[in-house]
Structure 1
């Protein structure tokens, strides 16, 4: 996906009528985004009337992982010992001390619900297997004659949507390690398991998660994005071809999830943010039914 495509979708998801994009209310708040016509989304387009509201959620107050108020000490477009402020989309612009969303205007300034100014990096594991019948035979769609793929999803606590069991990359953490950690926390409730149980589970899955293939790295069309803070992710596919590894694991929601299950993959799925795009890419790679 190009930035140009994403910059259009960033407001389109709230609805456009007559060429005007109505930004809607920002999640968990009463703050409404400023309306923007599609041609005014790019920063290079002059828009003297652009004066969006500013919003930082009070949910960030006191959180050790959240940035403080911007000062002159911030170093942009670089990685230091604690925070990686580089964007997958290349260097972003700094205006009046604030980073500008590379996808364009969003109708809202500030950080919103996001902890970091600038890019907020996440990792999204796409854990899949083939759908099988009681005889362990792979099930095919009789219309397309293609095998049906299944996917592990979790139900998010914050918005109630089904999503990939991913999350934010911790400071100093490798992206692939973050993807594995988030899967274990959200889909197996590892935070509530005993130390011995977690050791056994990680040992069972270690080789499987070493086979992950990166399918996307870049900007994410996320409802929490603002002019000054935005989501970026690296999505990995972990495919259990035989169904003998993750297929036998009991799914239990944990951490930020309130549900976890296997679902059939198809184009009718409704998933959080850009997750359906990542799943579609996996379906294309595995040549499964869609």
Structure 2
């Protein structure tokens, strides 16, 4: 009973995805790093030379598939609305309101993801987000982000991370409380529908949602913020 209400303690103390043995999009394999050898302060085998990753060893040096050494900045908007019955009433599960979240499936990808990603230097919206929004809605979406709530800022456990390059993201909750929210209707009308290989949808949000594992962690934080079912 002592652990009840303390979900933070049940989660791994160090990055996990950043130690996946097979590096994504390649045949490169990482040097296996057990949990106890992740911190830089702990002595490790010679192949695990010190790097700059703030969370510790990943088993791979270099830049990998990331754009630059050191932090690679990203932005992940988590756009949600309440899940409703046909009569407009909010659907509940285990007494908690249920959410729907906006997700996208990009060309050449077999998984769904939050509509965000890497930020190029000087850019305020990720290319992947611009891809799903028509250009005329970009300024309005930036306003929505300014009004949103930051749920995460900093290191993101990502399979592309290495000892010398890693992802740091800002995740912002953009929640539409009302069923007839004008901004939500505008957003829906400006979602890009012309690319047949790009799929966009509102997906029921719970822990079984078929999303990247690191994106699911951001959804967990948004659910906690809104007191919603997860």
Normalising by structure 1, report the TM-score.
0.66
The total of aligned residue pairs comes to 217
Aligned to 1:283: 223
Aligned to 1:221: 157
- Larger RCO (CA under 8 A, 6+ residues apart): 2
Contact in 2 for aligned 1:122/1:232 (Cα 8 Å): yes
Distance verdict in 2 for CA 1:102–1:260, change over 3 Å:
same
Q: Within the alignment, does 1:187 sit opposite 2:141 as a pair?
A: no
SS of the aligned residue for 1:172 comes to coil
Partner Cα distance (2:141, 2:29) in 1? 44
1:274 is aligned, of 191, 214, 217, to 214
Q: Within the alignment, does 1:262 sit opposite 2:202 as a pair?
A: yes
SS of the aligned residue for 1:281 comes to helix
Partner Cα distance (1:206, 1:38) in 2? 39
SS of the aligned residue for 1:277 comes to helix
Contact in 2 for aligned 1:154/1:186 (Cα 8 Å): no
Distance verdict in 2 for CA 1:103–1:156, change over 3 Å:
farther
Question: Which of 1 and 2 has greater Rg?
Answer: 1
Provide Cα deviations, 1:209-267, integer angstroms capped at 9, x if missing partner: 43211010011110101111001100000111113232561443689x83211101111
Partner Cα distance (1:111, 1:150) in 2? 36
SS of the aligned residue for 1:137 comes to coil
Cα distance, 1:135 vs structure 2: 2.1
Distance verdict in 2 for CA 1:211–1:145, change over 3 Å:
same
- Give structure 1 stretches of 5+ with no counterpart: 15-23, 53-94, 191-197
Provide Cα deviations, 1:114-165, integer angstroms capped at 9, x if missing partner: 0010100100000000112222222222xx1221101001124454221111
